[in-house]
Amino acid sequence: QASKRYGVGRGIADLNRAMLLKHEFSQHAQPYLERLVDETKESASLAALYGTSIIYLNHVESPLIMRVSTPVGTLAPLHCTASGKVFLADFGPELFEEVVRFSGLEAYTGSTISTRDELVEHLRGVERQGYALDDEEYEQGARCIAVGLRGSSGAVSAAISISGPSIRMTDDRVPEL
């Protein structure tokens, strides 16, 4: 016989966690994100690790009509987002292998890095340069640059990013951003 009781589902629990994380981070991140948007005219976000994904905790949209929008609470993969790559580059080898095995390397666009070896090589570059670039790997026409924010343990605890249309976020502009 089916029960007529209801319980808290995973969706509500996920939303609750996102809101708690947002509350903790957003008061500190908001002025920095606003400043990034003022200076670059591109959208800025704060993301945290959420299982084998990232979750956007805060977002300030570009004032321009053509912009990239990642609403608070949105989950995104690690291997093809700039913020996700910042976390992957910080993982030790065992954790990296476990995450790749669990989540896979789905190709979202023709530019997505979808092989383990190619991703490993790409992440070495992220470590060297100190930032990650999503070059139309998650969404065609959108580029994103992210840096990791390290907590007291020294590990990346959040990522801050700038996103915009690839027509404005050109190779020439990447060093400035």
pLDDT at 64 over 60: yes
- Taking the CA atoms of residue 177, residue 70, residue 135 and residue 79 in that order, the dihedral angle to the nearest 10 degrees is 120
More confident residue, 95 or 21: 95
pLDDT at 13 over 60: no
What are the start-end ranges of the H helices in 41-153? 82-90, 93-103, 116-129
Tokens 């609470």 locate to 73
Specify the pairing of strand 53-60 against strand 43-50.
antiparallel
pLDDT at 24 over 80: no
Residues 6 or more apart from 156 whose CB is under 8 A from it?
49, 86, 87, 90, 148, 149, 150
SS3 116: helix
pLDDT of residue 91: 94
Mean pLDDT, rounded, for 121-138: 96
Q: 29, exposed or middle or buried, with CB in 10 Å at 0-12, 13-18, 19+?
A: buried
pLDDT of residue 153: 83
pLDDT at 53 over 60: yes
